[in-house]
Amino acid sequence: MNLLTTLGGSMMEGFFPAGWDLAKIDACVDDDPATATKRQKWWNKGYQPTPCASQTDFDTMMGHEIALCIKQARDEGRQLVMILPVGPMGMYRWAVYFLSSWNVSADHVHGFNMDEWSDSTGATLSPTDPGSFQYSMQKAFYGPLGKLTVPTKQRSFATRKTLHTYGERIGELKAKGAKMAVVYGIGRVCHIAFWEPHFAAEFATDAEWKTQTHRFGARLHPLTIEQNAITSFKSRTTLVPAYANTIGPGVFLQADYCIGGADGTLGRGMMWQGLSLWMSLRHELTRWIPSTYMTTMPGKLFYLQELAGPLNAECN
């Protein structure tokens, strides 16, 4: 018996996004981990989930994919728009390693960070604050690339001054022949960037939802806050901002190629991202689960094999 779906109507009232059918979500999960990557009818023919045996494999393979995307655009003589996350992060070290080994400059790259912590008005931290995503990107990627790095004028961050210009600027670059790649992680409640599932209630149709390019001071789901307390704030939930600036589907669904990552394991058999992975791969398309839409575009989703389960209850 599944107590969550049996008692969910009273036990979790108002907690999960209103559009979530918990029984339907639970049915996405199979006891056979190999079936997680069984192709679904809505997947793009160029979409490829890619299992990784270890964290080292994950970081290396995802970093290689980012570096290869940059190299291929350079070889083709194209400008490259890259939507970049701060989480996962380990892949940036390897992207730097490969680009440096190949001596490939990233001066044709236009980097747009997908989100940033904020208050309810969209005001963000100083770029020199170690908690800011801008600081993290400089430390993990732009700085270590050295002379091969993305020019400062081609780096954009999700601030009140800049975020609302993303859609138009990216459109102009694509009109001139640039390709666009989205690098992303999957959130605990299946957000992409900080575009949360509960935003779906504000739109009458998926078509309207898909036009949204950004949001200032987006209110985060409690599970998103707790996810970040675990992954970025050493369990101090009290330090996690409740709001963030973020791109929306009007930006991330315009990608020519997507490079995704899911590495949310915690050791000793514990994890936070297993169900999120299965939902993203197996649930039918719905704006209530934003990550389902990433399967409709060409690209690779790198994930730790452990996340595919089997997702059975056990005490650790």
What domains lie within the chain, and their CATH numbers?
44-307 (3.40.50.1360)
Q: What's the pLDDT band for 283 if we cut at 50, 70, 90? A: very high
Dihedral over Cα of 63, 67, 68, 70: its sign: positive
For the question of whether the overall pTM of this predicted structure is more than 0.85, the answer is yes
Q: In what order do the strands lie in the sheet with 257-262?
A: 47-52, 299-304, 257-262, 179-185, 80-84, 109-113, 155-156
* Helix 91-102 × helix 55-75 angle, to 10°: 40
Q: Which amino acid is at 206?
A: D
The predicted pLDDT at position 91 comes to 98
218 has pLDDT over 90:
yes
Q: How far is CA 129 from CA 112, 164, 273, in A?
A: 19, 22, 28
For the chain, what is the mean pLDDT? 95
Amino acid identity at 210: K
* 124 strand-pairing partners: 118
pLDDT category of residue 14 using cuts at 50, 70 and 90: confident
Residue 6 has pLDDT above 60, yes or no: no
According to the model, what pLDDT value does residue 1 have? 47
> Which helix (H) or strand (E) element contains residue 265?
strand 265-267
Average pLDDT over residues 68-87: 98
Give kind and range of the element (H or E) at residue 226: helix 222-232
Q: Would the pLDDT of 211 be above 70?
A: yes
Task: Report DSSP letters for 28-64, one per residue.
Answer: T--SSGGGGG---TTS-TTEEEEEESSHHHHHHHHHH
Whether the pLDDT of residue 266 is over 60: the answer is yes
- pLDDT of res. 96: 98
- Alpha-carbon distance 137 to 214, whole Å? 20
The residue whose two tokens read 């001139």 is: 176
Residue 10 has pLDDT above 50, yes or no: no
Tell me the per-residue pLDDT of 95-140, one tens digit each, with 9 for 90 and over: 999 999 999 999 999 999 999 999 999 999 999 999 999 999 999 9
CB 32 within 8 Å of CB 310? yes
Question: What's the pLDDT at 13?
Answer: 65
Q: What is the pLDDT of residue 316?
A: 78
Q: What is the pLDDT of residue 66?
A: 98
Flag whether pLDDT at 41 surpasses 80. Answer: yes
Q: What proportion of the chain, given as a percentage, has pLDDT over 70?
A: 96
The residue-averaged pLDDT of 273-294 equals 98
Using the Cα atoms of residue 215, residue 219, residue 224 and residue 226 in order, give the sign of their dihedral. Answer: positive
